Amino acid sequence: MKDSNSGIKFYIRRIREGRLKEMWRQIKWIYGYGKHYWLQIILYTLLGLVNIGLSLLSGLVSKDLVDIITGHQTGAVISYFVMMIVYNVTSMILNQIAQYVSTYLKIKVDNEIKADIFGKILVTDWESLTSYHTGDLLTRWSGDVSVVSGGILNFVPDMILYFVRFVAAFAMVIYFDPSFAFFAFLGLPISFILSRTLLKKMVGNNEKSAAMNAKMSGFNQEAFSNIQMIKSFDLAKLYIQRLKEIQKEYLGMRLSFQRMSIVTSVLFSTIALLVSYSSYGWGIYRVWSNAISYGTMTMFLGLSGSLTGSLNNLTSLFPTVIGLTTSAGRLMDIVEMPQEDYSNDDVALEFLNKYRNEGISLKIDEIDFKYKTGTENVFESASMIARPHETVALVGPSGEGKTTMLRILLSLIFAQSGNSVLFNGSDEENCKEKIKLDPSARKMFSYVPQGNSMVSGTIAYNMRMVKPDATDEEIIEALKLACAWDFVEKLPKGIESEIKERGGGFSEGQAQRLSIARALIRRSPILLLDEATSALDVKTERKLLKNIMKDDYPRTLIVTTHRPTVLTICNRVYEIKDKKLTVLDDIEIDKLIRDF
């Protein structure tokens, strides 16, 4: 009675802690994916059920075969022997078919769920997403999705198959000799108590394992991405030591889990042996007393193993549920973050198509902005305007908000107050239409960020990422505008030359010009350059900006720069200072240039 009360208190405590409620929410989330694959689940289950049926029939034939042999009924031996072979061969073939179907379905379901989660991650609110390390995101997307997809396909069929196998074996035991049923349930109370005791540890272990995998993945991802920095600062020994420390931590965690697994395995194996030898002893006694035949005893021993195995398999579903819900919870942390709003996509596309050739202006009016993790505003009542055929510069010390302003323009982050709009033409009073800045409006922009943004592939592949139908002539024209054709045309394969990961094979200045060419070929009404010419010499930088300005396309150009030497060719210069955007006059611009 005391043990029963403690069991009830355990589950009441778990409910109060909210774990069971959270697990139910995670199970419902998994079901949201699983319901799309019910046909595959049914197919997988049916194959398993047929295999169980054949296995039981094989047991019956084996029983009769033993009885025939021990009874010296030689006439029937061959026919039963052939039947047993047929059942076993058929079962083997079905097993192979089931494995093939299972492999196909697992990969298919895994790919589809990964594609869906990948898509949701890409449209998750950018500022919320940056709270996670990219290594952690990669671990959740690859490892946790695989756990969930595997569980969707296997959990329900396995639960049905284990239960059916147990019920069928138990029914056969009851039919031939009910006394054997006692031994089938001999280990059940102990298995239940052990499972309950291990539940909390399994939850903790799964969470620790996921966190450790994320930590290791994050370290590896950062190390391989920064090999040049590691070499430059001679940090190889430091990083090797850090890796060894993480590996030692991982080893300690895995050995701790393994010790628990060994103890658990020994306990469950002991229970299984107890049940098996008890059944064996009871079978010998029943044969000795002429209550059953040798064949029946042989069948009971097989059924006893099947019953014990089925019970252990059903018990093993508890850690499976824990692993599934833990992975689901980690994915839900990501996909349940705020999503970007693309509800104005049609309106934005119509606006773009209608006014692309006329040009589009951008206006920021009295905005206030503070990062979610920030303690004070980055901008207060900040305003600016940029029009077609204009080059507008943002200047100011590092950390004052130049890149932040471009993120606001791209709707990666959002001002807490004020208005941000796009309108056709140059004159706001006589414009025909306005739309607000939001994620749907990004199709108006081309953006070249700080750092190297080229991806592995050919130059042409990089260009066609943003304009799939671009001709070779269009690519060459964009390269000329970006002052990149002078070195690309000298390459043996020209625009079909390979770019390595992170722009490898090209200097930083060349990679910057290729990035600008890619932005230009998109022919977006508004072009944002965030320190995108920092690796160029002043002469090339001025030539590139003049090329863009001379282009007949009505482009609105906004640049951030630390080098004021190009400011004299800009139509307007805004200085970010004291959380404001202030237009500088010629005298102030000249002073910036002199003080540079």
According to the model, what pLDDT value does residue 474 have?
94
Spatial separation of the C-alpha atoms in residues 116 and 439, rounded to whole Å: 19
CB-based contact 405:379 (threshold 8 Å): yes
Give the tens place of pLDDT for each residue, 32-41.
888 888 887 8
Sign of CA dihedral 198, 204, 207, 209: negative
Residue 10 pLDDT > 50: no
With a cut of 70, say whether residue 543 has pLDDT above it. Answer: yes
Q: Out of 62-71, 170-179, 313-322, 369-378, which region has the weakest mean confidence (pLDDT)? A: 62-71
The predicted model gives 271-277 an average pLDDT of 69
pLDDT of residue 310: 72
Q: How far, in Å, CA of 411 to CA of 379, rounded?
A: 15
CA distance 169 to 153: 25
What pLDDT is attached to residue 74?
52
Q: What dihedral angle (degrees, nearest 10) is formed by the CA atoms of 120, 126, 127, 128? A: 10
Beta strands in 315-453 (DSSP E): 360-369, 379-386, 391-395, 417-424, 434-436, 445-448
- What local confidence, expressed as pLDDT, does residue 3 receive? 47
Q: Residue 568 above 80 pLDDT?
A: yes
Nearest to 525 by CA among 374, 419, 409: 409
What was the pLDDT predicted at 7?
44
pLDDT greater at residue 90 or residue 571: 571
Answer with the residue of higher pLDDT: 95 or 127.
Answer: 127
Q: What is the mean pLDDT of the chain?
A: 81
pLDDT bracket for residue 369 (50, 70, 90): very high
All CATH 3.40.50.300 domain ranges in the chain, comma separated: 345-595
Task: Give start-end residues of each CATH 1.20.1560.10 domain in the chain.
Answer: 2-335
Predicted pLDDT at 460:
94
**Sign, Cα dihedral of 504, 508, 510, 512:** positive
Go through 519-540 and write b for each residue having 16 or more CB atoms within 10 A of its CB, e for each that does not.
Answer: bbbbbbbbbbbbbbbbbbeeeb
Q: Thinking of the domain 2-335, which architecture would CATH place it in?
A: Up-down Bundle (1.20)
The pLDDT confidence band at residue 94, using thresholds 50, 70 and 90, is confident
Report d(CA 238, CA 241) in Å as an integer: 5
For the cut 70, the answer to whether the pLDDT of residue 530 exceeds it is yes
Using DSSP, state whether 125 is helix, strand or coil.
Answer: coil
Task: Supply the CATH classification number for the domain 345-595.
Answer: 3.40.50.300
Strand partners, 339: 124
- pLDDT exceeds cutoff 80 at 389: yes
Q: What is the mean pLDDT of residues 231-235?
A: 71
Per-residue pLDDT tens digits for 403-444: 999 999 999 999 999 999 999 988 888 888 999 999 999 999
For residue 184, the model assigns a pLDDT of: 60
Instruction: Fill in the amino acid letter for 173.
Output: V
Instruction: List, for residues 246-256, the tens digit of each pLDDT value.
Output: 888 888 887 87
